[in-house]
Structure 1
Amino acid sequence: MLTQSSPLLREVHSSYRYFLYRQKMSDSQEIVIAITPDFIKELLPSAQRTALLYHLSYLCLAKFPKLERVLRQRAVETQLLFGSSEALLLKCAATSKNLVSTLLPALKIAVEEDESILAIKSLEKARAWITEIVDKVGQMVDRYEKHNHSVASCSSDVILEKSLTEEKKAQTTTEIEAQEKAVKDLEDELKNNHQKIIQIETTIKQKNQDLYNHVKATSKKSNDGGFLSALVPFIEAVVKLFTKSDDDSEAAATVQVLSSELTQLSIEKSSLMSKEWSIHVRMTDMQLKLATMKIENGSIPDPVHLNDVQKCLSRIQNILIQLQKFWESVSVMLEALKDETFAKEDFILKRNMKATFLESINSAKGHWKAFGESCLHAKSIFSLQTKDAYKFLENSPSALTPEQWKKEYETVIEQLNKIDPDPFHYKVPGAPAAITQ
């Protein structure tokens, strides 16, 4: 039975916090003493934050499949670690219960009846039980430490991926700029080439007009204007006619010059037309490549979300350190309880010290009872985190639509904001009942 003035409360005040409140029953009132050990008061908010920060990080790794896979592994490891923590706390609670309900009472009877051999056997059995859970708690501390390193390694992977992504985006941007310049150069070349074609066509038109005027003037001089005028639309025929004619060698020479110039202009125009087609083909190819590069650049994930992931992982790492300290506290407490349980055991064979040893047993029972109830409380907290807290891992964040992603992200942030750091505000399902007076 615990009272406010009992030695037990004074002895464990540094390790446990107590508060009193009245609970009205159907036909009576009773004083309830609720125990909240310091070493578990941060456990629930820490465990809740861990799952939500993993969820937030997971969302921000959409389009980073490699990191998404690594983070999923770390989150599953954390979930399994919490499951192991739950099992170990249950074992701690069961050991405490066995000590309080069976072994320590048997030890007390053995001492009261001066059965020293039975008392020593009981002590050794208790020592073996406690040593076992002390060792297992030590192993749990090591597991948390190793897992903390794994999360730190994941954070390093995120930093590296962020660096590589930024480098890739910068490189791709440079390549896009170079490709855009190449396309622009081809567009300028095509424009210049087209202007040359227009100039040649203008010159050809002018030469044709000169040839027409020359043929017309020559026809009038030779009094054969009707015949030659009819041939004007057929420039090649006119040229041949003047080439074969010896009547006006000067006129024929002029026709040949104009004809040669027209031929040369036609050749140049043909060359420019071929060049124009070649430029069109190259430009089409470059434009397609540029479009592809821009699409690929858009598919390269923006590393801005990796900043959030890195921050979340750092917070998770700090929480895991706190949980590691929780188990270290359990280890320290176990050692202290172990010392308390076996205090004055040398007095077993000294009859005049029997009362002192019996008092030591009663004190140890109180400690172990409170410790067992605290372990059940902590076990309930870990149990909550091994059920649905990590259900988000079942779906890939890359499969979410932008609207779904935004809604889920905002929901996680809202849940994070709702976490109350005050441990007294929590009602944990399955928590042990308060110790009543």
Structure 2
Amino acid sequence: MAQSKELVSTNEEWNPVFTEELLPCSQKVSLLYHLSYLCLGKFSNCERLLRMRVLETQLLFVSSEAVLLKCLGTSQNLVSALFPMLKLAVEKDKPEIAKNYLEKARTWIEENIQEVNRIIERYDLLNKNLALSTLDINAEKTEMEKKSAQLLQENEEIKKTLKTLEEMLEETNEKLTETEKTIGDKNLELQNLVKHFVSFSKQGHKRFEQLSASVPFTIECSSALATSPGAVEKINTLQSEVNRLASEKATLSQKQWDIQVQITDWQMKLAKQKIDQDSIPDEVHLGKVQHNLSLMQQIFNKLGKFWEKVHKNLGIIKDKTVEDFVDPDLKEGFLMIIEKALEIWGRFGGSFGKGAQIFRAQSRDAYHYLEIDPSSLSEEEWQKEYDSVKNQLREIKVFSGEYDSNQITQAE
């Protein structure tokens, strides 16, 4: 069925454990900025450029918090208003009530989509500004090096170590990419398996699909409707395989980050040598800041696509399904799906609150180092500051791997 296929999401879209990706990315951004600040604070023009980008990032995080709070409010409205009114419409045979509230919900969601698109544009602008600032810093570095009589030659061993670590990182990246692809394939297989085994009446099958599309993550909902013990066993087996792969991905992601921390440490050794020579060091940390900001932008991209799909699905329900609420043969099934939607959306909305808390903490607490002039630090104070940042980087856990398999597989 064409409409049914349009409702199937891929594993590339939004999932409610996004905070597990958002938290380490936001932490890395502030800590990598801090390293750049330590390296460039001695050079006034570079420090000025960096401070501008850091303050811009803080403001962006404040706006990101506001967007997620708006998404949280919409989720709560769906739970407190939309689904209860759909339930009432089914029970009282009042399709017009359902239509009115579905249209109101779609208006809420349209506002979310607009806000998310605006924040995506700001992430894109920040990354472009960071790239320009990096070019300016490198230009000043080149100019200073022209004036230097000589550069340090004793860094060959450091560069050799860096090369080895970079090769290890590339190998880990390849394994991680392969694992993520396998997870995607298994997720799709799980979706298709659930669709195959869910038992609906021939008359009501399409209309049940349309209503169940209002649930953001429907493996749990659909599994509850499967009638065959064999079907449940196959679904559970495949869910276990997805969880195993998620755990494997978590291990590889943590290894990837551990290697990146080691690379950062050796890069800082090179940077310190150049700082001691009054030479601007290679600005490698801002590139990593850009990478993590891009990952956060991708999360908002997925969020936007998610709300667009919910908006579309509610429109399908409004236009194609609501009139069938009066069919007594379908009432029990509709009410069952609405109850499941209430339960899942109730849990799901909390993820937006967690995301908002992450942005609030980062924008408020993570940039106090801007109050300190790095050029005023003694050798011991500088080293103490750097060691503190390095330890915080090492303590970051990039991914727990503790998926709920009902959340990994995206909504139909």
Q: Tell me how far 1:60 sits from its aligned partner.
A: 0.5
Match of 2:322 in 1: 348
Report how far residue 391 of structure 1 moved.
0.4
Q: Distance in 1 between matches of 2:12 and 2:336?
A: 21
Q: Indicate the residue corresponding to 2:38 in structure 1.
A: 59
Q: d(CA) in 2 for partners of 1:362 and 1:124?
A: 20
Alignment partners' CA distance in 2, 1:348 and 1:413: 57
Q: Report the counterpart of residue 396 of structure 2 in structure 1.
A: 419
Note closer, same or farther for the CA distance 1:324–1:421 as it changes in structure 2 (3 Å cut). Answer: same
Judged with a 3 Å threshold, the aligned counterparts in structure 2 of structure 1 residues 369 and 303 are, in CA distance, closer, same or farther, namely farther
Residue of structure 1 in register with 2:284 after alignment:
311
Work out which of the residue numbers 299, 302, 314 in structure 2 matches 1:329.
Answer: 302
Q: 1:160 to 1:146 in 2, by over 3 A?
A: same
Which amino acid in 2 is paired with 1:110? A
Aligned to 1:124: 103
CA contact (8 A) 2:144 2:280 kept: no
Alpha-carbon distance in structure 2 between the residues aligned to 1:377 and 1:158: 36
Cα separation, 1, equivalents of 2:35 and 2:400: 24
> 2-side partners of 1:74 and 1:388: how far apart?
17
Task: Summarize deviations over 1:58-98 as a string: whole Å, max 9, x none.
Answer: 01113211110111111111111111111111111111011
Residue type of the alignment partner of 1:330: L
Q: Residue 165 of structure 1 aligns to which amino acid in structure 2?
A: M
Instruction: Describe the SS at the equivalent of 1:37.
Output: coil
Please show how residues 63-102 of structure 1 align to structure 2 within 5 Å.
Answer: 63-102=42-81
In the TM superposition, what is the alpha-carbon distance from 1:37 to its structure 2 partner? Answer: 3.3
CA distance in 1 between counterparts of 2:41 and 2:113 reads 42
Q: Which residue of 1 aligns with 2:119?
A: 140
CA RMSD of aligned residues (A): 3.0
Aligned partners of 2:76, 2:138: CA distance in 1, in Å? 48
Alignment match of 2:293 (pick from 320, 328, 331): 320
Q: 1:372 aligns with which of 349, 355, 359?
A: 349
Gaps of 5+ in 2: 1-7, 151-274, 403-412
Structure 1 residues not aligned, in runs of 5+: 1-10, 18-35, 172-299, 426-437
Deviations 1:396-416 (A, max 9, x none): 211222221122122211221
With normalisation by structure 2, the TM-score equals 0.59
Q: CA deviation at 1:342?
A: 4.1
- Of stretches 344-353 and 414-423 in structure 1, the one that deviates more from structure 2 is 344-353
Q: Distance in 1 between matches of 2:136 and 2:125?
A: 17
Q: How far off its partner does 1:335 sit?
A: 2.3
Matched to 2:281, the amino acid is L
d(CA) in 2 for partners of 1:12 and 1:369? Answer: 21
SS at match of 1:421: coil
SS of the residue 1:117 aligns to: helix
Aligned position for 2:26: 47
Aligned AA for 2:293?
L
Opposite residue 139 of structure 1, the aligned amino acid is R
Superposed CA offset, 1:4-42 (max 9, x none): xxxxxxx9995899xxxxxxxxxxxxxxxxxx8343322
Specify which of 101, 116, 131 is matched with residue 152 of structure 1.
Answer: 131
SS of 1:422's equivalent in the other structure is coil
**1:315-354: per-residue Cα shift (whole Å, max 9, x none)?**
0000000000010111122223334444432222232286
Shift in Å at residue 424 of structure 1?
6.0
Secondary structure of the corresponding residue to residue 63 of structure 1: coil
Note closer, same or farther for the CA distance 1:62–1:302 as it changes in structure 2 (3 Å cut): farther
Residues 20-419 of structure 1: pairs in structure 2 closer than 5 A: 37-170=16-149, 302=277, 305-307=280-282, 310-345=283-318, 346-350=320-324, 351-352=326-327, 355=331, 358=335, 361-419=338-396
Give the alignment's TM-score, normalised by structure 1. 0.56
How far the C-alpha of 1:383 sits from its partner, in A, is 1.9
Any conservation in 2 of the 1:96–1:369 contact (CA below 8 Å)?
A: yes
Match of 1:198 in 2: none
Question: Per-residue displacement from partner, 1:144-166 (whole Å, max 9, x unpaired)?
Answer: 11111111111111211111111
Q: 2: distance between equivalents of 1:109 and 1:406?
A: 65
**Runs (4+) off by over 6 Å:** none
Quick one: structure 1 residues 149 and 72, their matched pair in 2 at CA, closer, same or farther if it must change by over 3 Å? same
* Identity %, equivalent residues: 40
SS of the residue corresponding to residue 386 of structure 1 reads helix
Choose between structure 1 and 2: higher strand proportion. Answer: 1
In structure 2, the CA distance between the partners of 1:325 and 1:15, relative to structure 1 (3 Å rule), is: closer
Is the CA contact (8 Å cut-off) linking 1:344 and 1:360 kept in structure 2?
A: no
Q: How many residues align?
A: 268
Larger of the two Rg values belongs to structure: 1
Q: Does the C-alpha gap of structure 1 residues 144 and 44 become closer, same or farther in structure 2, counting only changes over 3 Å?
A: same
- Secondary structure at 2:398's aligned position in 1? coil
**Cα offsets for 1:199-237 (capped at 9, x unmatched):** xxxxxxxxxxxxxxxxxxxxxxxxxxxxxxxxxxxxxxx
